[in-house]
Structure 1
């Protein structure tokens, strides 16, 4: 099928001009970085202990070292691109959510594009069931895993780990990922609980036995267990596909963004440190974000982002004519999306017109949720 939607733009040696560093005047923001910074500030006499404790929670992955020269050019336009994965591990504390399958997959995948100036962002969700051309990868043990045609997107993580997932996305998009962040199910649940939950208002009942979710219409403050159930629900909403679940995830993210500033934990250093401890344990970043100072520096300026500043879309796809349980990229439309991000421009609405995603199959479930494919209210 070939590389889809934009681009085998691999630069020699994987080196190009570096993106502009964010201004030091921007405020520390972002959920994880914000609570980490507050915990450090409020640590008082225990400052060194707080740093060591939180730094010890962060175990980075050297994506650049593993991929070496097989990467797109790093374009110098002031933007930043991050691949965010929700890991679908079937072992340990995550087993209750994934059935009996072994191994781990990228259950959720989003390319987060921060525009120059950090006043706007776009998020492109990649359906895990997308059939793609997976490139050759080297796994964590140094063994080469052959590429595969018509492979499901989430198998890249399964067979080759984070570096293979990054390589696959970069081959699809032609965009170099500046950072990688992985969040696992158990960590996600604990982080939501530590933050005090997320409030949503539903206009329809959501009941999905597989994700352990049962919500009548009305306003709910979801705890970690319920939040995890919501972002994993698929059979009981929309057309029952992964595309409907992606829309639920996007709606939840908007609710989360709107509420995170109102957590109200700064008055309690103990609670703030607990949140920071939980947040740093919940993620596995790339090696350029695996310290408190690097994480805070990365998040400068994000505190000004509201949900209305974030455009959330699904990579343009259509149902596979051979297997209706899978989707395949729409090459021309996907190329429009990736090209817009490479040029640091908004994603054009025309790129989403013929896509099976962003069709509003879950429209009206969340009160106040803006239509799919838009920036916000």
Structure 2
């Protein structure tokens, strides 16, 4: 694909997201979502391999269903209340329709079935766009109009997402599928927290986007597709294993890394609201996901993990080592600085 064409499509994706965030009309919001989706589809199938095209078609179908549900919800409101404004009242049918549409777009369980399969069929950069940027518009909609959705339905979906995000990744050896189930779990945390504190949910979203972007860029540059490729990361780039270990452990939420703040802030709010059972279920889901995060860290540090193949790369025949690009160094530097600074500066989050 020509560079100018890719740039135009990328700008259209950004424009679509900003239209959604800044609009107060349901039809304009639907237009922004469709603009972002249609601009992304050509980028998803840029390689034009059968698996790539299949993933792009699945993504398009799911996004078309969710967009249709949003438009249907807006039409019901316009029919009953004569207004397309997001400030107009809503009835039960449109509320449920909007909640299901957001669950599809965010990959919340039980509407998550498309996300691991689509992410597995795409290159890392396209997968990064789907798991980070494309989640911003639906989440901002949820943060801004939480009164317009069925909170009980989405909280239940968030709990199931955290558990499935941990359970589904246990038996995976493909890095992209592991990151997909990780994304499902984190979306559950953010969605549940958003109903009790919008500010903390925004902080959690920012930290998740930063850590997940760093992880995707690292594995994309090192061509790490399975767990078996991790044990040669040291030879490919001697500085990469430390970055991978710190990033993946932060994604898992181990203290005192930045990812721990995602779970700590959420649990603080939930415990203060006396949701002890809900907090326990979230902790259980995080403990399940911690298994495959530690599995990645062990393999990267050359601590061989049992019951899977750990030698899939012919590293003895390699003659050159790779250097991490500037974009990865920049994001890694920002992440490491935040990992050191955030846990030891309580004023950043204690008064949120």
| RCO comparison, higher one (Cα < 8 Å, 6+) | 1
TM range, smaller chain: under 0.3
TM-score (norm 2): 0.28
Q: Which has a greater percent of strand?
A: 1
Give the TM-score normalised by structure 1.
0.26
